[in-house]
Structure 1
Amino acid sequence: MTSKQPPLPMRPVRAAQPRFTWHHFAMRFSSTPRGARLARHLAGERLDAWGIPYGSEAHDTLTLAVAELSSNAVRHGHVSGRDFRLRLTAEGTVIRIEVTDTRGERLPTPAETASSDEDGGRGLLLVAALTDRWGWYPCADGPGKTVWAVLEVPPRPEQQGSSQ
């Protein structure tokens, strides 16, 4: 006896749900340019899965902030043989990005100005301009520091509950 089963969908279908209530993602990456690119790529995928779609202003802002902080961890916080860690946290409509490296003596300071012919020096200026707030703190469990940034993501129009 054979029973006919409906075909499986090609892609999982997301159920309609709030953008996010609470989500967490953390991963270690090699302190290399490739590690920084992978951190940006995986952060973008995670944000999309949490309801912040590719191409949206919030998605672009957050992935740029991840890219800049990860690049800084590689460029200024690199210690041979040590990885950097990316942590994303979504609670309510607030997204927090944390990038931890193992170089505690090189503290993050945004450049006052960067000349147009310099390559670099604008990362923290971008993060400060694009996010609601940013900062850093020393690691409590070892050498290094964590640089963080926070962005309030407004609810999508269909989530605001407007009735017309």
Structure 2
Amino acid sequence: MSDAERSPWFLPIIYVGGLIFGFGLAISGMARPEVVLDFLQFEDFGLLFVMGGAAVVTGIMFAIATRYLDRAPLTAREYTRRIKKFDRNVIIGGTIFGVGWGLSGICPGAAYASVGIGNYPILWAIAGMFLGAYAQGYWRNVRTPASADTTSADD
């Protein structure tokens, strides 16, 4: 999609949404690794309510938007289902994500919010996320011949 098709409000709304998300994580305590680790050790179930509340709001909005709108308001893209294969990459990626979440005590979105509340040691985990993403992209490019007609996992 070209930038001309997007609403001029696209980037400002994305940035405001990110700020609201970050403040929500900070206020709820989910930007603190101790809280997340307590959840993963079945000691504090507050994260379950935060994630559950987010899932309910998202589900309602998707149901309303896809029923009453033919296109996404900010991107002008048609609403379609995006079905991906459940393959080896999903298993490996999910495992790496889960191990990283367990070791650092925080997921990627909350890691950025955690920096905002002064948790600067989390920058090591963020650096690890970037390094891991780069290594995965490099490995995928080396593994796949340049002439092959392949599509990205996000297409």
Alignment TM class, shorter chain as reference: under 0.3
More helix by share: 2
Question: TM-score w.r.t. structure 1 length?
Answer: 0.23
More strand by share: 1
Higher relative contact order (CA 8 A, sep 6+): 2
Question: TM-score w.r.t. structure 2 length?
Answer: 0.24
